[in-house]
């Protein structure tokens, strides 16, 4: 890879870039410079305009105003193919790989025909590049057999093979174990040392501090600040992102909980999905008045476990799940709700909420048993009050309770669904990715509500890929890998590295863990 690091110009320079969508000014006169060999963080809350800006650099969309210069020369990047010709590569947060093709075939799809013709030569190049950057990959493996971390490597190697000069990474660590993050950072530092520029989008501020040379902060589509992350505290950077009037941290007391409330006993389940993960002998107890977290990289059995606990899958033995009143593994979701269970699924639109229904109706969907329906008749006054309480208490930004669920941003819909479940004061709450996609301030508020629910005596089970979040609010923690559950430990007595190693499958189920 050859880089002209002596070029006095920035690798890429954005001047007065603006982009409008109906009713929204997504980017407003944005300026940004990234030098050769620089790792530059782009920070901001959801809706701050980060994705729009990246997509314009990568040619997915064009700016309405402003100009882009590449190595000091003006360019118009009209499509991703033009970006790739310049040497710009992008790894999106949601990967675009074909499950049933091999690693080499997936990479070939992005190359010019003459480069993709000789698959033997391409496989050799993949091996060379992945070896050089310590990103071990086997070109002939089918993608569906790869872990999430390995799939991300395919996306990055796909960029590196094309003589990359600017690599854009969107939330690249949100799907990795701590050990994989360290490996990725070593690769990125090596690339930067060779003169490649890196634009790094992340909400994990400690990682930004550890990796990035400079940061640009966006708020409401405008650049509101710049900093050298290594010289700031994570709280200081968060404060720049949200302004002065939003709490950015909170500390929570840990608790031991009371009597065991939820008992999962020898739960095994064969996945119906050919690319799914079967559960093997899961044993776990959750006490009343505690929060237990299950860490893990997506695709390790979380979906299957949540379906078994919510009642969407009834293919387990009758004694697999029990509450104080008795076994529930044979019960349908509605019957489980009558037993005091509330549930927040991973997929918000379609499973957590019906897209075309109003917020008022979506509130009624799961809370019908909480006094909103009597003798088969809906009490619309109470239903409206319930929806309004969710919107005000959880600060849901919407056009009112008659707005359809699909009109809300992902983060606001998440706040609505979390609020709908928490305000029913369940005795057992099972939630997947409780603050996925919500802003720093909103995450702090949701954590506060979860702690309040815990302190009122509810048993809470959280499934999340965000280890920082789990360490912040759980009382006990474990990890799921390949459908097997690790030992459970007191969160206060276990290290991030230990849980990271469990996430990678390094555990023996009978291991004795202090406080578990």
Q: In the predicted model, is pLDDT for residue 34 greater than 50?
A: yes
Query: Among all chains, which residue has been given the structure tokens 């007065």?
Result: 16
Contact 52, 38 (CB under 8 A): no
Beta strands in 130-273 (DSSP E): 166-170, 197-201, 214-219, 222-227, 260-269
Note the pLDDT of residue 3. 43
CA dihedral 195, 201, 205, 211 (to 10 degrees): -10
What would the mean pLDDT of 269-290 be, rounded to a whole number? 93
Percent of the chain with pLDDT over 70: 97
| pLDDT score recorded for residue 438 | 82
Max CA-CA distance within the chain? 78
From residue 214, give the alpha-carbon distance in Å to each of 183, 185, 217, 417: 21, 15, 10, 36
The closest of 209, 225, 158, 235 to 39, measured between CA atoms, is 209
Distance CA 277, CA 270 (A): 8
pLDDT tens digits along 137-184: 999 999 988 888 888 899 999 999 988 999 999 988 877 888 888 989
Helix (H) or strand (E) holding 245: none
Average pLDDT, the chain: 91
Is the confidence at residue 514, as pLDDT, over 80?
no
Cα–Cα distance, 270 to 367 (Å, whole number): 31
**Residue 124: predicted pLDDT:** 95
- Tell me: pLDDT of 92 over 90: no
Class of domain 250-340+426-516: alpha beta
Name the range with the highest mean pLDDT among 121-135, 246-260, 431-445: 121-135
Q: Give me 390's structure tokens.
A: 């969710």
CATH 3.40.50.300 in the chain: give the residue spans.
Answer: 12-242, 250-340+426-516
Task: For residue 512, name the pLDDT band (cuts at 50, 70, 90).
Answer: low
Quick one: average pLDDT of 452-478?
95
pLDDT level of residue 516 (50, 70, 90 thresholds): very low
Is it the case that residue 280 has pLDDT exceeding 90?
A: yes
Q: Which pLDDT tens digit goes with each residue over 381-420?
A: 999 999 999 999 998 989 999 999 999 888 889 999 999 9
Q: How much is the pLDDT for 273?
A: 83
For the ranges 107-116, 190-199, 436-445, the maximum mean pLDDT occurs at 190-199
Q: How far apart are CA 114 and CA 394, in angstroms?
A: 55
Mean local confidence (pLDDT), 249-253: 80
Q: 12-242 is classed in which CATH architecture?
A: 3-Layer(aba) Sandwich (3.40)
Query: Residue 132, CB half-sphere, CA atoms under 13 Å: how many?
Result: 14
pLDDT of 326:
95
pLDDT confidence band for 508 (50 / 70 / 90): confident
With cut-offs at 50, 70 and 90, classify the pLDDT of residue 427.
Answer: very high
Task: Report pLDDT for 2.
Answer: 40
pTM of the shown model: 0.83
């Amino acid at each position: 890879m050859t880089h002209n690091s002596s070029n006095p110009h920035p690798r890429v320079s954005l001047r007065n870039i603006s982009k409008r969508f109906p009713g929204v000014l997504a980017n407003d006169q944005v300026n940004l410079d990234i030098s050769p060999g620089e790792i530059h963080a782009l920070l901001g809350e959801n809706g701050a305009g980060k994705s729009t800006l990246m997509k314009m650099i990568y040619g997915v969309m064009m700016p309405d105003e402003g100009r882009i210069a590449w190595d000091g020369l003006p360019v118009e990047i009209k499509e991703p193919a033009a970006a790739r010709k310049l040497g710009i590569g992008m790894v999106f947060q949601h990967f675009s790989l074909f499950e049933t093709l091999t690693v080499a075939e997936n990479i070939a799809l992005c190359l010019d025909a003459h480069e993709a013709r000789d698959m033997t030569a391409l496989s050799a190049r993949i091996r060379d590049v992945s070896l050089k950057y310590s990103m071990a990959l086997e070109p002939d493996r089918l993608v569906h057999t790869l872990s999430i971390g390995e799939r991300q490597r395919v996306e990055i190697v796909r960029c590196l093979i094309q003589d990359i000069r600017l690599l854009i990474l969107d939330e690249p660590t949100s799907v990795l174990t701590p050990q994989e993050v360290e490996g990725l950072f070593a690769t990125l530092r090596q690339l930067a040392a060779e003169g490649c520029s890196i634009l790094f989008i992340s909400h994990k501020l400690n990682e930004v501090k550890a990796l990035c040379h400079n940061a640009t902060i966006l708020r409401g589509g405008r650049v509101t600040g710049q900093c050298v992350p290594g010289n700031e505290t994570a709280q200081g950077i968060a404060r720049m992102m949200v302004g002065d009037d939003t709490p950015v941290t909170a500390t929570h007391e840990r608790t031991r909980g009371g009597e065991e409330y939820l008992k999962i006993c020898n739960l095994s389940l064969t996945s119906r999905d050919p690319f799914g993960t079967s559960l093997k002998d899961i044993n776990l107890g959750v006490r009343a008045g505690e929060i237990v977290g299950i860490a893990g990289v997506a695709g390790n059995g979380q979906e299957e476990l949540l379906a078994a606990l919510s009642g969407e899958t009834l293919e387990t033995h009758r004694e697999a799940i029990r509450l104080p009143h008795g076994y529930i593994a044979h019960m349908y979701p509605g019957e489980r709700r009558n037993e005091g269970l509330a549930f927040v699924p991973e997929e918000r639109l379609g499973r957590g909420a019906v897209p075309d229904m109003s917020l008022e109706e979506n509130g009624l969907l799961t809370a019908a048993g909480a006094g909103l329906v009597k003798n088969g008749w809906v009490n619309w006054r109470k239903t409206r009050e319930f929806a309004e309480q969710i919107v005000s208490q959880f600060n849901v930004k919407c056009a009112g309770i008659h707005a359809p669920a699909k009109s809300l941003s992902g983060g606001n819909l998440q706040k609505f669904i979390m609020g709908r479940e928490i305000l029913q004061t369940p005795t057992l709450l099972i939630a997947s990715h409780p603050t996925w996609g919500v802003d720093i301030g909103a995450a702090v508020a949701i954590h506060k509500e979860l702690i309040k629910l815990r302190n009122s005596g509810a048993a809470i089970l959280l499934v999340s890929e965000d280890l920082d979040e789990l360490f912040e609010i759980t009382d006990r923690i474990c990890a799921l890998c390949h459908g097997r559950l690790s030992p459970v430990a007191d969160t206060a007595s276990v290290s991030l590295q230990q849980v990271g190693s469990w996430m990678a499958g390094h555990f023996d189920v009978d291991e004795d863990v202090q406080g578990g």
